[in-house]
């Protein structure tokens, strides 16, 4: 049966644990210099309507490392922006490829693609969700702390796609999640509601606050993202004002646990949502997190395309 990854909610807990197990295996092989061609002969199509560094490079490199091929397709390379329907595009891709990664604005576009494709579709980012990033983040925390259940993640910043996917992931895995955002920048209300209900069943806790200094208390992880995401450039100056006081810096860290770890999905706007000394500091695991995009996404590709 075809399986897609459109949100973390599409995965069972067993699926997530299997992704982590395979990611550990593949990471060990990578660092040992061993070749592992589990997707030999498979082809991944990559539709990108938004710019990308980590998502593109990690998926493209991952496919090559697994013995397959990746086709990068920007929106200008396809007929979708010239009137060809998503349904027709999905059917054509299904004839030629073994899987699709799409990075775009609308979650609905990803869902329509998945409905009409007979091959797996992976959400490489939309305005609403970024599931691959949060799977990577949870894997990184598991590597560092040896567990997810009961771990407190304090997310500080915009209630964007990262915050929404953290709500899905944390509530599913029994984590405690605090999201600190100014008024007007809260995460999607339906996703919040669903996450609170799921967290109660799984032994976790979800809280929203507009005070980051309150939100980071007893945090094992402090996590942030840019205040102005792609497509919001005209709001830049307003957001700088609205997010004043939400920077992850030494003062904020001092209120969390002494051994708190710092995470950021990147790219970072140093001096805005996070200070350079924190990014470069001994508690930062930001670049470990970035490397793990490669290994976790290889595990996702294996699970969906093998």
Alpha helix (H) residue ranges in the chain: 13-31, 54-65, 86-96, 107-116, 131-145, 161-172, 189-202, 212-215, 236-242, 250-253, 276-279, 286-305
Which of 54, 103, 129, 295 is labelled catalytic?
Answer: 103
**239 tagged catalytic:** no
Q: Which of 264, 265, 295, 297 is catalytic?
A: 265
Out of 65, 133, 247, 297, pick the active-site residue. Answer: 133
- Alpha-carbon distance 130 to 168, whole Å? 10
Long-range contacts of 31-36 (CB under 8 A, 24+ apart): 35/65, 35/67, 36/65, 36/66, 36/67
Look up 265 and say whether it is catalytic: yes
Known catalytic residue at 270: no
Peptide bond into 303 cis (omega under 30): no
CA distance 172 to 163: 14
Instruction: Reply yes or no on whether 107 is catalytic.
Output: no
**How many CB atoms neighbour CB 106 within 10 A?**
12
65 is catalytic: no
Please say if 103 is a catalytic residue.
yes
Active-site annotation holder among 137, 168, 220, 225? 225
CA angle 207, 7, 14 (to 5 degrees): 90
Q: Active-site residue among 22, 56, 198, 293?
A: 293
Catalytic residues: 103, 130, 133, 225, 265, 293
């Amino acid at each position: 049966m075809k399986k897609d990854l459109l949100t973390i909610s599409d995965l069972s807990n067993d699926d997530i644990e299997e992704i982590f197990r395979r990611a550990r295996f593949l990471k060990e092989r990578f660092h040992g210099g061993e070749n592992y061609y589990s997707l030999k002969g498979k082809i991944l199509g990559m539709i990108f309507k938004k710019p990308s560094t980590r998502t593109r490079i990690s998926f493209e490199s991952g496919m090559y490392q697994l013995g397959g091929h990746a086709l990068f397709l920007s929106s200008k390379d396809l007929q979708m922006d010239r009137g060809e329907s998503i349904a027709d595009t999905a059917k054509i891709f299904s004839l030629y490829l073994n899987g699709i990664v799409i990075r775009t604005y609308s979650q609905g576009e990803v869902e329509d693609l998945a409905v009409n494709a007979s091959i797996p579709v992976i959400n490489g980012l939309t305005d609403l969700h970024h599931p691959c990033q949060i799977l990577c983040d949870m894997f990184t925390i598991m590597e560092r702390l040896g567990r997810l259940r009961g771990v407190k993640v304090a997310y500080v910043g915009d209630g964007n796609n990262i915050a929404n996917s953290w709500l899905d992931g944390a509530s599913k895995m029994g984590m405690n999640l605090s999201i600190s955002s100014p008024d007007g920048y809260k995460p999607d209300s339906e996703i919040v509601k669903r996450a609170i209900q799921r967290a109660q069943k799984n032994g976790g806790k979800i809280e929203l606050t507009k005070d980051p200094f309150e939100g980071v208390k007893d945090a094992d992880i402090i996590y942030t993202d840019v205040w102005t995401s792609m497509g919001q450039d005209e709001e830049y100056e307003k957001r700088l004002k609205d997010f004043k006081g939400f920077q992850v810096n030494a003062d904020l860290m001092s209120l969390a646990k002494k051994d708190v770890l710092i995470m950021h999905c990147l790219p970072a706007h140093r001096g805005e949502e996070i200070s350079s000394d924190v990014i470069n500091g001994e508690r930062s695991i930001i670049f470990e997190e970035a490397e793990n995009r490669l290994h976790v996404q290889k595990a996702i590709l294996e699970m969906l395309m093998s």
